[in-house]
Chains A and B, each alone.
Chain A
Amino acid sequence: MARQIAISFEDDIVRVVYASIKGTKLTVKKTLVLKDEELDDFLKKEKTRHFRVVCNFKSFYQDILLLPPVKEKFLRNIVEAEIRKRSPEMKEFSFFHVSLGERMHEGRKMNETFVFAANNYDLSNVIERFGRCGKVVKGIYPAAFTISRLVNLSYGIAADPLLCVAESEAGKILLLMKDGKLYFIRAAQSFESGIHDIDVQNINMTVNYCRQTLRLNPLQVILLGTACSHYETTMDLTLPAVCMEPTSAIIASRETFMEFIIPLSAVVDVKKSEAGNLLPQSYRSFYRQKEILTYYTAFFVIFFIIGLGYLKIKQTEMEDVRKKINSLRSEMQAMEPAIADYENKKKELDKRMPLINFINSMNSSPDMQMALVALSSLKEAREKGVNIDAIDMSPEGNAVRIKIKGGITAKSFTEMQQLYQGITESIKKTGGMHLLSDKIDLSGKVFHIEIKYSGVADAASRR
């Protein structure tokens, strides 16, 4: 819930409204009426830093300008130049402009724009009064502008011209509105609260001015706030008059609404009110720079504190790690003799490595004896008529290559085949024997068999 404080300067009286905004509803929390000289004390005591201010400017410039249709970013510069041209007495000023629509002028399409300008001197006097008390003016608005926003909120956007009359201690504020936009503002003197003859006279004169000069014919007079409290006049208004009833968007007593209608209007729909903010550019820049610097400073300070916290945590962690390292180092130092012993042993081993390699190479030769034992399985075949003429054995890696040459004594080829098959089957069945090739010459009845003996398990068991 956003809290807003609006202050309205009304001659020697200052009205203060504390309001909170939730969604579209505005709730009035507190109201104050101060004398102008009491404001400084109030500001010094008040804790809130940001304020919205409504003023009845004694001198201001207003006009309806016909401008060429240009983009919005160029329009502001053109409006400023037009104000300087039309009101040379205004040197430093702040202004707002409201586009009223397009109009044909001398055969050309022109943009009709209402402008309102106030002297920066007058604005600065108010803003610096707050500044001296350490407060910031977020927005400074002419009362007529904020009232027009309140009328729009209560009545909606009326297409017909309306003449609104509000009242402050300084007098009556008359404003002409059409399509929800401001067309004309007039500050009129008034000595009493409510509507009296002099006020009727002023209203009628303003209506005539609107008809004759602005070519706008107001259909109704809307009396706002305390302007509606008394109606004692012997003269008749040229237009029908109605009192503006409190809107449901503002939660406040009827009396509060009527009496504080001007400061209340400054906190209604604050986002849309920015269009009428007359805060001079120098203040806007200053506040922006101040805001940026404040945020960065806060950012730096926060990160500095976080950094310090991190450093503190890390320092504790590192102390633990350092202790562990020291403990490990002392353990390592205690183990140095073991390392030295290992290195000596390693040197000794390196020195003996050629001899060890020699012994290993000698012991890794295949087991010829076991190969010969395995060959004794051929004894059975020999007894049946197989003659083994020659056996050649040679080591081949970890295995033994064996070549067998022999002949078969048989009466028939069938018997020869059976005997030969017997010898090959016998070889295949022998553990560690792998038949590489075998060939039999039928005419000579001789055979050649090549075997690989790799009795690895046997060889290993030998060592």
Chain B
Amino acid sequence: MKNYKKWIKKSSQEIAFISKDPILFLSILLIFSSLIIFILYPLCKVITVSVFSKGQFSFIILKDVISNWYFRQGFYNSIIMGTLTSIIGAGIGFLFAFTLARTNIPFKKVFHLIAIIPIISPPFIGAMAIIMLFGNNGLITSGLLGINNFKIYGFRGLLFAQVITFFPVAYITLRGVLESISPTLEDAAFDLGGSRWKVFKKVTLPLAIPGIASAILILFVETLADFGNPLILAGSKFPILSVQAYLQITGMYDLPSGAALALILLVPSVSVYFLQKYWVSRKKYVTVTGKPTASSHKVVSPVAKWILFAFCSFLAFIILLIYFTILWGAFAKVWGFDNSLTLNNFKYVFSVGFEAVTDTLIIAVTSTPIAGILGMIIAFLVVRKKFPGKREMEFTSMLSFAVPGTVIGIGYILAFNNPPFALTGTFLILMLNFVFRYIPVGIQSGVAILQQVDPCIEEAAVDLGADSQYTFKKITLPLMVPAFFSGLIYSFVRAMTAISAAIFLVSAHWNLMTVQIMSQVESGRLGAACAFSVILVGIILLAILIIRLILNLFYGSFGGTMLKI
């Protein structure tokens, strides 16, 4: 009770303090209300719809869903798929990261770029290519090997697609982890007489374990939430929860059951996400001790080095094969029957689906800067300001990282179908969805860079007479520019490639390329789907190039090097 009173006292003091700065006060209020409306409210809707039946609180819908064996199977499959993908993906990612961080193999940069490609392309490209390579009319199965009834749909194919799609995420995370482990530690262990294998087992691996654990958990959350690959590859014999929820709503028009499935999907994702964020990521070792040290590359034996090189080459080959297949598919007459080249697929795209291209661009171009700026502002408030509910603000805005897109999509159609927020079918609902789904990216990079900027620099501006808006605009924001742009690139890529939430929100007026690609795949027009994908990846690459050029122009090499992707 006493604590509660103290909290009120402290909060009211803080409110009194920030209310002296009306614009700061207003922006905090504004951010709070938008986070509540566009993140919490849709989630609450998912929950309430699943626990209210005919206006009465009851668990009937949830009970029905859980007692249905087919949905239960979907749940188990999702968990199994998530577990396997995360373990295999993190393993491959670790080997890839270890090879690039700790050996002096040739073509390191090329390997890095190849591993990045799946991150900047729609997540279901892997699934498409796998069908084109191993499906009924697959280039490898029926074309090369003459097998006609190879079963790629289901567990095997999906696992393969998921691992290829998500291992790069583990690679990026683990490369950072490995690079933060000073190689001198390994050199020291080696110098003390440890064999190479012992050094790896006793020093490198234990130091990387927290990083590996967190990569596994991140992959688990991402795989569980993934929608595109399972929709294409899972098939009816291997149901996956996110697809089931979607089919329940779009196929059966059963919103409550769909919401209940979303709720069941939400629980493991959110719990694993927060396990990762608040427990595993705290166990990280800090081993960087000032001066960056160069590795002597002596800790990997030549034989091991070339084995790792072969492994990376094989992986890079598979990724290239996938993208080459898509590219060829875009120019092929009828994939599997007549693979000779043509421009018909592109003609088809430009005549039938060009609106989807412009729509996607408009939505991505409007939502990413808003998400970026909002992310920076929230990062700034969270790191630098004191106000009641600060932690709650950070928590809520990071929530959309943890919540599967399917759940968000269902939440949005439930929340914004009726006044006062009748937004279904509009441009606004898609844009808002993207903004609030991708602010965490901006927040994360903003928080990271702000923690490196000495608060005195901002205090100095205030001391010289600047108010908080002026300080933010003239001092903080310019310092955050590199983080802002890398956040911008990331959210642009995500907005261009998003499918799981967006598929619920598109309409006849506002459609997206990813959704178009999906419907082309479903109706068997693989060529058109490939052509769409090529255009999509082309736009993304162009956008990255433009942003890099702008940064180089205004910030010289400084801005360019700050950008990692």
A and B are partners in one complex rather than unrelated chains = no
A interface, CB within 8 angstroms of B: none
Task: Give chain B's interface residues, CB within 8 Å of chain A.
Answer: none
